[in-house]
Amino acid sequence: MKLQTALGAFSGFGLVYMMVMVFTLTPVETTQGFVQKIMYIHVPSAWVGFLAFFLCFVFSIGYLWKREEKFDMLALAAAEIGEVFCAITLITGAIWGKPTWNTYWTWDARLTTTLILFLIFMGYLLLRKFIDPGEQQMRFAAVVGIIGFLDVPLIHQSVVWWRTLHQTSTFFQTNKEKVIDPNLAAMLWISVSAFTLLFIWMLLKRNGIERERRNYLRRLAEQA
């Protein structure tokens, strides 16, 4: 519990620090101008979103393997948080895209993959809603979590061939030429770290809430 509070405080501090840095010390990008600053939310949100879905996949495997409820609760928490950050990624991307690409939406590979991923895990959460709580719910959700995540490479490959416009990833460059100013890169790393801390804190928090909720429901059922 103490660790969680410390983590929360730390990520809160990180976010404030990041915001101050973004608007004061970080230089304005030359070609894109002020709008580029939204990247310090967009990029870390995308990272956290994908990380969350990956963790949901891992916890789903964990559940089917070990059959312990804690994996199911973690998978649920990861999927929910992933959806939120995925939505933030899509929205901030659209806001950035209008002045930069002159369109809110384009069927670019990474946009499309993110959207489909968002839809897949929306289905995952809906499935959980439509099944009564219990062992079956956990099992089915885990199956969908695994299948859904394994589909992502195929989806990505197919939409890359279909059409693409997005600039290549800044962090996972294959050519070593400098595409980003070191100041901006440092800022990006700070924001990614702050968001990751925030994500871990949210994951633990959501997991705790879910445990309380299930305990409560169980006690309610026992009394009835």
Partner 1 sequence: MNTWTLLKKDLQLDLRSLENFLSMLFFAVTILLLFAFALPLDDASHRLLAPGLFWVVFLLSGILNLNKLFQIEKENSCMEALLMSPISRGSIFLAKMAENMIFVLAMQVILIPLFSLFFYQDLLQHFFSVLGLSFLTCLGFSSLGTLLGGLTTDVRFKEILLPILLFPLLVPLLLASVILLKSVINGAGLGAELDWLKLLVGFDLVFALLSYLVFDYVMEF
Cβ atoms within 10 Å, residue 168: 11
**The only residue of 22, 58, 131, 204 in contact with partner 1, by rule CB under 8 A:** 131
103 binds partner 1 (CB under 8 A): no
Residue 142 engages partner 1 in binding (rule: CB under 8 A): yes
Beta carbons of 29 and 99 less than 8 angstroms apart: no
Q: Which is nearer to partner 1, 138 or 192 (CB)?
A: 138
60 phi, psi to nearest 5 deg: -65, -45
Token pair of 108 as six digits: 């670019």
Please answer whether residues 85 and 45 qualify as being in contact, where contact means their C-beta atoms are separated by less than 8 angstroms. Answer: yes
116 contacts partner 1 (rule: CB under 8 A): yes
* Residue the block writes with tokens 């995308």: 46
Q: Which stretch binds partner 1 (CB under 8 A): 77-85, 145-153, 197-205, 209-217?
A: 145-153
| DSSP-derived secondary structure letter, 38 | G
Decide if 17 contacts 191 (C-beta within 8 A).
no
Residue closer to partner 1 by CB (options 95, 127) is 127
Angle between the N-to-C axes of helices 135-162 and 109-130, in degrees from 0 to 180, rounded to the nearest 10 = 160
Shortest reach from residue 144's CB to partner 1, in Å: 6
- Give the number of residues in contact with partner 1, rule: CB under 8 A: 29
Smallest gap from residue 158 Cβ to partner 1 (A): 4
How many Å apart are CA 13 and CA 150, to the nearest integer? Answer: 35
Does the footprint of partner 1 cover residue 127 (CB under 8 A)? yes
| Contacting residue, 2, 27, 134, 161, with partner 1 by CB under 8 A | 161
Q: Interface with partner 1 includes 165 (CB under 8 A)? A: no
User: Which residues within the stretch 52-71 sit at the binding site for partner 1 (CB under 8 A)?
Assistant: 64
Task: Give dist(CA 157, CA 154) in Å, integer.
Answer: 5
**List of residues contacting partner 1 (CB under 8 A):** 64, 116, 119-120, 122-124, 126-127, 130-131, 136, 139-140, 142-144, 146-148, 150-151, 154-155, 157-159, 161-162
